[in-house]
Amino acid sequence: DETALEPLHTRLRVGDPPLMPSHCHLTMHRCPLPYDYGTQHSKYIVLQYATGIRFIIHTANPLVGTDDISVQAMWHQDFPLKDSLSPPSSDFEETFCDYVEQMKLPVAEQDLVIKAVRLHDFSSARAFLVPSVPGQHSGSALHKYGHMRLRHLLQQHLDVTSLPRAGTANHSRRGTLSSLFNASASKVKRDEAAGRSGQPQEHGSSTRGGSNPSEGAQQQQQPEGAAASSSSASCALRSEQGHEAVPEGIIVQPTSIGSLTSNWFFNDFGASLSAVKPPPLKVPLHNVKPLQPKPLSPDAAFVVWPSYEGIRSSVGGWRSGGNVHATAANMEKDGKFLFPLLHHFSGEAASRAECMPHMKSFCRFKGQQLAYVIVGSHNLSIAAWGGPPRKGSQGVLMIRSYELSVLMLPLLETAYR
């Protein structure tokens, strides 16, 4: 009952005893939020059965009617109980248990969840977990959360030598992506990007279903196959010599855009999105510093965002704009660097042409192939993915919110099958 839960939520404070309404089996807990603008934004469900456990990581909020007018995404997978052949633990298991501990649940509830999770075998997971938790993370924790966790996973598991090679001739981004996005690839006008004065802003949502690594992640109909990118981490648009230009790059599809800087977007977050496993050295060298990811090239960045007209004419009308958040100040920040990157959202490929998105997704692509797909709660914000606590800070990642997403890679799907 939404109306019954609302007053409980507004009264709940950190340190309050768990609230258990007499009419349902429900415990409410407010996670510690030490910083302004932070929130518990994760969206996931864990269901325990007699023979196993199901993980569902999705993009929808539990609000009646929103899925009918929105495009949502969901990843899910069932895991069996451990047996004598199961490994003692796995990256998936340890990452989730650490995330649960960071939420500071009451001891009894925390033990109950972790005990249930540790009974199961996650060695067949078809995705990696990418969590964010509030705090200033450094040292061994630097690569456990946010975009640094993503960077670490891609550097460990995304083998660029297994991806199709690209040519060397640069081509204009205009025109080459119109068929891919089912919409204009031209720059979105200012009033469409930031929302017209006095009107609700556009909203995003996620695709219902799942991109089939892990029985889920059904996003807009995404072609199967191990995605590709060029051997350069900047992965600009290129074409094979003597062949038609093949679009490639990184798609960022949020439903909320925070206060960003171009430096963070291209050099910090973009470098994580562009990270790949370094090639092995032919001759072993000692005391060699690891290669740093290259910044994301503006020519390779595509921010997919609903348009003013798309919101207005959608099946939900202005109501569909309720979950799209981006102030004019944020969109115009730092010389309006986002404007040339914007592309219209269209749900036509998923038969949701008149629905606006609430999904949050990121992917690296070349033509119709994908190197990876990320689906979950992370939007395009420093609060969600993390950034330096202050200008010039190094070796520290400050995150304000709790988030949980999954990273799907071809190697995991191949291993599963």
Average of per-residue pLDDT across 90-97: 98
pLDDT score of 38 more than 80: yes
What's the token pair of residue 343? 């592309």
Residue 396 DSSP label: E
What's the token pair of residue 258? 């925070």
pLDDT score of 303 more than 90: yes
Neighbours of 173 (CB within 10 A): 22
The 10s digit of each residue's pLDDT in 279-295 is 776 666 666 565 677 89
Amino acid at 395: G
The 10s digit of each residue's pLDDT in 369-408 is 899 999 999 999 999 999 999 887 889 999 999 999 999 9
Using CA atoms, how far residue 200 sits from 193, 208, 339, 340, in Å, is: 12, 24, 19, 22
pLDDT score of 319 more than 60: yes
The enclosing H or E element of 92 equals: helix 91-102
The 10s digit of each residue's pLDDT in 111-166 is 999 999 999 999 999 999 999 999 999 999 999 999 999 999 999 999 866 654 43
The position carrying tokens 């994760």 is 42
Neighbours of 103 (CB within 10 A): 17
